[in-house]
Amino acid sequence: MILVHQRYFAKPGLRDKVLETRIEASRRLLDLGVPAGTIWVPARTQAAISPEGLPDVIWACTYPSLEAREQIRARQESDPAFHAIRTRQGTHLTQWVREHYELIDPFGTGLR
């Protein structure tokens, strides 16, 4: 199993715009018939936990394999509407990071 984890760091004052645009992108993914993933924002409810240095938005999605991820990515990348959303999102960001992780099975339960 592959986890794709994307971190979005907004330009000053554009956090809400980054979140709105990520939601729009996820809706477009659904329209394309591919996984929309999940969207996360920092929990800002505890004064002892500083959001300093954290991304403003995280998007995460799992895929059965890297090959499946690449097939889905090719589909979304060829879509003009998704490309336009992604291009617009880039104007709202100071930094964007995409990471891929592979699930390990430390207890031999057959997860992968």
Chain segment 63-89, per-residue pLDDT in tens = 999 999 999 999 999 999 999 999 999
pLDDT of residue 112: 58
CA angle 25, 28, 33 (to 5 degrees): 130
Mean pLDDT for 3-23 is: 97
What CATH class has 2-44+53-102?
Answer: alpha beta
**What does the mean pLDDT of the chain come to?**
92
How far apart are alpha carbons 22 and 20 in whole angstroms?
6
Q: Would you state the pLDDT for residue 48?
A: 67
Predicted TM-score (pTM) of this structure: 0.88
The pLDDT assigned to 76 comes to: 93
- What is the maximum span of the chain, computed from C-alpha positions, in angstroms? 47
What whole-number distance in Å separates Cα of residue 34 and Cα of residue 32? 6
Show the tokens assigned to 74. Answer: 């090719």
Q: Which of 34, 4, 21 is nearest to 98 (CA)?
A: 4
